[in-house]
């Protein structure tokens, strides 16, 4: 079920944060929702880089792109913003001021970006990343924070709830459907044997599963517009974060070994000549499945 | 010898606890001096019997209001219990499940302690517990240990350890007091829905048949369900067709999604992206059908058929039906 904005939007008094006046609600009221979307810029999964066994760090040769998992949160935020005259802020932490993935999100339609890039962040783990994202998100004062359930490359899946805990906000993870209501969201949350319906007051952090909405492709107009959209480029000092809280020191863990996994033994590969199914039946018989 | 007391987050299930929780208890017994369970919700007697049989001496049980999500309340209560304990745990294990990640993530932020995630193996080196995590689609293992103070939190992937009963008596039950989790606990569960499924569960089935983009269109997924049914197995899917909306997320096999380890895994029209391989490459036997002979799935297949699923599957289904 796609995201469906409900009728009762959050209302703000005139002169509120975004100050947009919406006519047609009986009286003059602003009706806005500001959504922060956490996005990760990752090496193209088709070319994921490698771990250097000596330095035990990820070697990335390619430019970074928007993690496809995050495109769903961006799309959901855009749909909510379009329905409520809201604003979408994309927030990312990346090395070397990498901006390619954020530019994609801006080209899709996000209004502005916050990028945190700092040499002291090298080696940051999920909690360190969450501290940085939480501090950056706090500056944006969003009503709703969206993230993917996990990144494609690191796949820890803990950052959204760590951000929520650091910001003292409720969270609903593994959202497969989200409806925006008046000061709250109703979420269908994936469970082991089905789903729960969860009501959550705003502000809140949601992690959304891939496929929850259909991400749009950036239009040519969007790509051109992205070049002139505002972007805050911050270091950790701007966020009041000490170097020892993040990076290798903050991670308080060390990689002691990087070991290749022995490849599976090569199997029997044959080209179907119309009897391939017979070989499968015979194989299942050998395994006593049949 | 051991690394100290280990607390294991167990998840209630009808009649006891989830199978992944028993796997965690088996892992904890290997290196823990004492193994204690923590659980939110469920029937305390049934949970204590299940965890006791699998080696836990103690069960800390949190009475969870039906409308509360597991993560925020349990994490806050655990953090308070750790802070107030005379014998705080050296290690806390949770599983890479929907609730396990919520608990570990929030607990980590509360205690300001990192988490080692996606662990598929644990080892003790120089007295410290090392978590082993597969990266790059399972082609490389990274061994990581903590350098700071405990408790050390590890998130373990399902199917990594073999659950084994030690025939223990029910664990002693002590109440875990509910802590105030403030605004973090403000979400309310207002309804629960079970999705109807027939046949064995995806992560417990002896045979799993999965379909991918090579099926071409949503309607063709019926072939996968039919084949799974004929083999007494469960039907799975690659991320590509879950994202496309052909099948629900609960059927996804892979890094995101379920980890499966059946006797036979049959991949149909699945190219074998690293995302998918992480979830199935430890299956005991793998059959792949794909028209692209260069598809990475053939790199892990014991039997690979280079062919069109639209040709091979109908013939296979017909052949199996003829046997019945």
A122-151 pLDDT, tens per residue?
Answer: 999 999 999 999 999 999 999 999 999 999
In percent, how much of chain B has pLDDT > 90? Answer: 87
Q: Is A1 on the interface with B (CB under 8 A)?
A: no
User: What's the rounded mean pLDDT across residues A72-93?
Assistant: 96
Using pLDDT thresholds of 50, 70 and 90, give the confidence band for residue B194: confident
Distance CA A134, CA B175 (A): 33
Touching B: A residues 122-181, CB under 8 Å: 125-128, 130, 149-150, 152, 155-162, 164-166, 168-174, 176
Mean pLDDT for the stretch of residues A87-93: 98
Confidence label for A60 from pLDDT (cuts 50, 70 and 90): low
Which residue has tokens 């499940």? B97
Q: Flag if B146 and A252 touch (Cβ within 8 Å).
A: yes
Number of residues written out for chain A: 290
DSSP assignment of B52-70 = HHTT-SEEEEE---TTB-H
CA distances from B35 to A186, B21, B30, B176 (A): 38, 12, 10, 16
**Chain A partners of B113 at a C-beta cutoff of 8 Å?**
127, 252
The answer to whether A253 contacts B114, with C-beta atoms less than 8 Å apart, is yes
Distance CA B158, CA B122 (A): 13
Nearest residue in B to A124, CA atom:
B114
**For chain A, first and last CA: distance in Å?**
39
The helix/strand/coil state of B195 is: coil
For residue range B262-280, what is the model confidence (pLDDT) as tens digits? 999 999 999 999 889 989 9
- Look up residue B121 and give its two tokens: 């193996």
Q: Are strands B188-194 and B234-237 parallel, antiparallel or unpaired?
A: unpaired
Contact across the interface for A157 and B105, Cβ inside 8 Å: yes
Residue among A127, A253, A289 minimizing CB distance to B145: A253
Q: Which residues of B touch A51 (CB under 8 A)?
A: 135-136, 140, 142
Q: Alpha-carbon distance B182 to B215, whole Å?
A: 48
- Using the structure block, give the residue that is written with the tokens 């750790």: B82
The gap between the terminal CA atoms of chain B, to the nearest Å, is 56
Residues B317 and A60: their CA atoms lie apart, in Å, by 45
A271 touches chain B (CB under 8 A): yes
CA distance A284 to chain B (A): 8
Q: How far apart are CA A117 and CA A97, in angstroms?
A: 5
Arithmetic mean of pLDDT over chain B: 95
Q: Hunting for tokens 């309804």 — which residue is that?
A: B191
pLDDT at A8 over 60: no
Q: How far apart are CA B146 and CA B149, in angstroms?
A: 8
pTM of the model: 0.89
Give B106→chain A minimum CA distance, Å.
Answer: 5
State mean pLDDT over B146-161: 95
- DSSP three-state, residue B260: coil
ipTM above 0.90, yes or no: yes
- pLDDT (tens digit per residue) in A9-47: 343 333 333 333 333 333 444 458 999 999 999 988 777
Q: Which residues of chain A make contact with B108, given a CB cutoff of 8 A?
A: 126-127, 158, 162
| Higher pLDDT pick, B236 / A23 | B236
pLDDT surpasses 60 at A78:
yes
Kindly determine whether residue B194 and residue A194, on different chains, have CB atoms separated by under 8 Å. yes
Separation CA A142–CA A139 (nearest Å): 9
Banded model confidence at residue B257, pLDDT cuts 50, 70, 90: confident
Give mean pLDDT, residues A242-250. 94
**Mean pLDDT value of segment B185-195:** 94
Beta bridge partners of A100: none
Specify the 3-state DSSP secondary structure of A99: coil
C-alpha atoms less than 13 angstroms from C-alpha of A53 in its C-beta half-sphere: 6
Model pLDDT, residue A48: 59
Task: Give chain A positions within 8 Å (CB) of B117.
Answer: 126, 155-158
Separation CA A219–CA A107 (nearest Å): 7
User: Which residues sit opposite A213 in a β-bridge?
Assistant: none
DSSP 8-state class, residue A155 = -
Spatial separation of the C-alpha atoms in residues B4 and A94, rounded to whole Å: 37
Do the chains contact at B306 and A270, CB–CB below 8 Å? yes
pLDDT band at B245 (very low <50, low <70, confident <90, very high): confident
Shortest CA distance to A149 belongs to which of B243, B193, B140? B243
**CB spacing of A261 vs B256 below 8 angstroms:** no
B154, B91 contact by CB (below 8 A) = yes
Contact state of B287 with A280 under an 8 Å Cβ cutoff: yes
Phi, psi (deg, nearest 5) at residue A184: -155, 165
């Amino acid at each position: 079920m796609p995201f469906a904005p409900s009728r009762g939007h959050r209302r703000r008094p005139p002169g509120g944060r975004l100050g947009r006046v919406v006519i047609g609600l009986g009286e003059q009221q602003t009706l806005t929702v500001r959504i922060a979307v956490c996005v990760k810029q990752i090496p193209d999964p088709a070319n994921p880089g490698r771990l250097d066994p000596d330095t035990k760090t990820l070697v990335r040769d390619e430019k970074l792109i928007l993690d496809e998992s995050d495109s769903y949160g961006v799309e959901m935020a855009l749909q909510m913003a379009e329905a409520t005259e809201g604003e979408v802020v994309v927030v990312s932490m990346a090395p070397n001021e990498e901006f390619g993935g954020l530019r994609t999100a801006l080209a899709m339609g996000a209004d502005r970006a916050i990028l945190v890039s700092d040499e002291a962040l090298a080696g940051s783990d999920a909690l360190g990343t969450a501290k940085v994202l939480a501090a950056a998100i706090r500056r944006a004062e969003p009503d709703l924070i969206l993230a993917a359930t996990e990144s494609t490359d690191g796949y820890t899946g803990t950052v959204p709830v760590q951000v929520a805990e650091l910001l003292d906000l409720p969270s609903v993870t593994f959202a497969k459907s989200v409806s925006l209501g008046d000061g709250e969201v109703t979420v269908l949350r994936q469970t082991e044997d089905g789903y729960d319906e969860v009501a959550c007051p705003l502000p809140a952090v949601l992690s959304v599963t891939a496929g929850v909405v259909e991400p749009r492709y950036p239009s040519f107009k969007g790509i051109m517009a992205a070049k002139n959209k505002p972007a805050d480029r911050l270091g950790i000092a701007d966020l009041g974060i000490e170097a020892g809280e993040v990076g290798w020191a903050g991670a308080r863990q060390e990689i002691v070994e990087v070991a290749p996994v022995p490849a599976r033994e090569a199997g029997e590969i044959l080209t179907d000549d119309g009897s391939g199914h017979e070989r499968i039946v015979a194989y299942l018989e050998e395994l006593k499945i049949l | 010898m051991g690394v100290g007391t280990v607390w294991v987050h167990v998840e209630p299930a009808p009649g006891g606890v989830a199978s992944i929780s028993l796997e965690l208890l088996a892992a904890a017994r290997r290196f823990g001096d004492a193994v204690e369970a923590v659980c939110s919700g469920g029937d305390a007697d049934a949970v204590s019997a299940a965890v006791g049989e699998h080696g836990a001496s103690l069960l800390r049980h949190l009475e969870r209001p039906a409308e509360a999500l597991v993560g925020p309340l349990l994490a806050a209560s655990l953090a308070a219990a750790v802070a107030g304990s005379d014998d705080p745990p050296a290690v806390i294990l949770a599983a890479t499940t929907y609730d396990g990640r919520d608990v570990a993530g929030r607990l980590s932020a509360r205690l300001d302690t990192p988490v080692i995630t996606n662990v598929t193996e644990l080892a003790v080196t120089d007295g410290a517990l090392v978590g082993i995590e597969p990266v790059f689609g399972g082609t490389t293992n990274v061994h990581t240990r903590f350098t700071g103070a405990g408790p050390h939190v590890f998130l373990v992937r399902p199917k990594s350890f073999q659950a084994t009963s030690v025939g223990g008596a029910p664990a002693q039950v002590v109440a875990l007091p509910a802590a105030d989790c403030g605004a973090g606990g403000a979400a309310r569960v207002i309804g629960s829905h079970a999705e109807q499924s027939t046949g064995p569960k995806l992560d417990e089935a002896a045979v799993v048949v999965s379909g991918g983009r090579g099926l071409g269109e949503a309607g063709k997924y019926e072939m996968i369900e039919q084949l799974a049914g004929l083999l007494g197995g469960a039907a799975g899917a690659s991320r590509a067709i879950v994202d496309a909306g052909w099948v629900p997320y609960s059927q996804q096999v892979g890094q995101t999604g379920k980890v499966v380890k059946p006797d036979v895994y049959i991949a149909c029209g699945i190219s074998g992206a690293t995302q998918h391989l992480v979830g199935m490459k430890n299956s005991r036997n793998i059959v792949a059908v794909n028209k692209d002979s260069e598809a990475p799935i053939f790199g892990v297949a014991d039997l690979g058929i280079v062919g069109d699923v639209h040709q091979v599957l109908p013939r296979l289904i017909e052949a199996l039906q003829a046997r019945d």
